[in-house]
Amino acid sequence: MARSLPYHREAEQSVLGSIFLDPKQIAMVMDRLENRDFFEQGHILIFQAMKDLYEENMNIDYASVASQLEQGQNLAKAGGKKYLFDLSDAVPSTAHLETYIDLVRGGSIKRQVIDVTGKILEEGFTGDMEANAYLARAEEEIFALAQKRKTSEFATLSEIIKEVKTKTERNRDKSGGITGLRSGFSNLDSITAGFQPEELMILAARPSMGKSAFAMNAAIQVAKRNQDGQAHVAIFSLEMSNEQLAARMLSAEANVKNTKIKSGTLTPKEWQFLEGGMQSLDKLNIVFDDSAAVMVNDIRAKCRKLKQENKLDFVVVDYLQLIKGDERAGNRQEEVARISRSLKQMARELKVPILALSQLSREVEKREDKRPLLADLRESGSIEQDADIVMFLHRPDYYTRTETPTGEVELIIAKNRQGLAGVTLKFQFDTDYSRFTARAEREDLITKD
């Protein structure tokens, strides 16, 4: 049995009839609808004629639209002059124009989904695309349609300040002024007020500075210290395996050296500590994904599923430059730009903070002062642009190569869209246990443009 494509004929007629009744509405309709949103060819031709008249700053009425259609030899295709007169009878007033537009858009989106899924189906039967790339392409096409559906209208200042007041009242009773997720590091929380929903945070460093260890410490503390120990954390590790990361976490939690966990040469007391650490970590809601060559679409799809199950509060990506790029990007800079932008969009869509680790360029090594700068972000300035917070890890004793390293680490807050920047926080990093400990002192730097 043949099936017809979904559309609302009466709604299409009502939109065009509303423009005849009140030509000023054409501007609003043009903002909301495209030609392809209309199903009937005659309606598309009439809408285009109306838009042409508007662009030429001419009146929109029956005579002018009929003349415009006639010039293109489209009047008969559009139903003739009588049909133009009949359109005004399809709608008594413009009071419900928004509803008519929504009905037209709804039918259009359904048809676009049918079209896209049909192409996806056909490509699955005939194409030679690799399976993961095929899945990513399918999700990207559907997500693009979903984004179109979610396009929002302007919000008034009155509406927004009411939301601000509600959020302020909700945060009023939170202890210590922490309005986001507690990171477990008091000095960092004092600057950020916790990890905030919708924020993309970048933690960048040269290799061997401890950025993965810092991220794992933060993941444990977020899971422990929020929602009564029930906060959910997702970790995407593209550099190390799940077992390697879990071993680091266990070392920090159990107070047993990394090397001993790796070798298995533990004393009876250390075995007890290990068991205690395992019991502590076993209670936490932390999930791992160490898929190789993962694309940003894969990360987004998995996070979206967790969010739908109410099992996502914080995301860690280790690290950004290892995410597989988009084949359509012209070069690596464009790939990284697309990836960082997608991570920011994901944070906003899912309303969770995302901590993405990033490599710094080798330019750091060439300077006398090895402290990182925003210009050192590797491969793309868009990372700095997309991020709400940019932090750098710097270990001074890494470059001095002293026999007895101090373990002092600086966390430099280079960018903070919602708060204080140009601040260096002090930490102690115990490499044997992959453990960071916050120190009280901090330095406020004068940032230079």
Per annotation, catalytic residue among 70, 239, 384, 408 = 239
Cβ count near 429 (within 10 Å): 22
- Would you give the DSSP letter of residue 153? P
Q: Which residues contact 417 (CB under 8 A, 6 or more apart)?
A: 199, 388, 389
Which position has the token pair 């008969």?
Answer: 76
Angle (CA) 164-168-174 rounded to 5° is 150
Gap between the Cα atoms of 207 and 378, Å rounded: 12
Is residue 42 within 8 A of residue 78, CB to CB? The reply is: yes
Which position has the token pair 């998995």?
Answer: 302
How many residues does this entry show for the chain?
A: 449
Which position has the token pair 């002293």?
Answer: 402
In one-letter notation, the amino acid at residue 140 is E
Angle (CA) 89-93-95 rounded to 5° is 145
* 239 in catalytic set: yes
Sign of CA dihedral 312, 317, 322, 326: positive
Cβ count near 304 (within 10 Å): 16
Question: Mind telling me the catalytic residues?
Answer: 239
